[in-house]
Amino acid sequence: MSAGHVDDGTRLLGSLVPMTAYDIRLIGDPVLRQEAKLITDIDGKLVRLVDDMLETMYEAPGIGLAAPQVGVQKRLFVWDVGMGPKAIVNPEIVESSGEWIFEEGCLSVPGLSWEITRPKVVHIVGRDMDGNEMSFEADELEARLFQHELDHLEGTLLIERLDEETRKVALKTIRDMQLGQAASLAKNELRLP
């Protein structure tokens, strides 16, 4: 989930965004439509993945990042809403309540955001990086972040949370951005000596 919604004009939707540790996959990349696999072993390789994902998330800048967004099909996400970095393995929402409308963006759909209605409170369970069970309630922004990142683990992008008319406009905007950026890149390449 994105913290800011700035598009510097050099990113081509459907391609990769260069980052420090990993590239964030953007809308149009088929990996974002695949369901992530359960993690059966928490080892040093997974700990390194979490560290790299956190670095990528902070660099983006974002407040949450799911493993599929960096091309890794594992049920894992990282986040930091100002309380320090955290990671959860095999997360699952077991209960939700209320309703909260909020402007939501995504690192995989840079520069765009929409008002999306989601449950206000969620109870999430999973495992920490030591393999211990995690279970806690989250409210408002953190609850939204968990739902957003879990969507990524299911192969769902936030545009699928939009009503039909808003989704059509969003997809047209994304297509126009892709075409405009592709044309701009091609024009710049033609100017090279």
Residues acting as catalytic residues: 149
- Quote the CA–CA distance of 173 and 161 in Å, as a whole number: 16
For residue 82, count CB atoms less than 10 angstroms from its CB and return exposed for 0-12, middle for 13-18, buried for 19 or more.
exposed
> How many CB atoms lie under 10 A from the CB of residue 96?
18
- Quote the CA–CA distance of 25 and 18 in Å, as a whole number: 10
What residues have CB less than 8 Å from 3, skipping those under 6 apart? 60, 61, 62, 63
Strands 16-17 and 24-25 come out as: antiparallel
- Quote the CA–CA distance of 17 and 126 in Å, as a whole number: 29
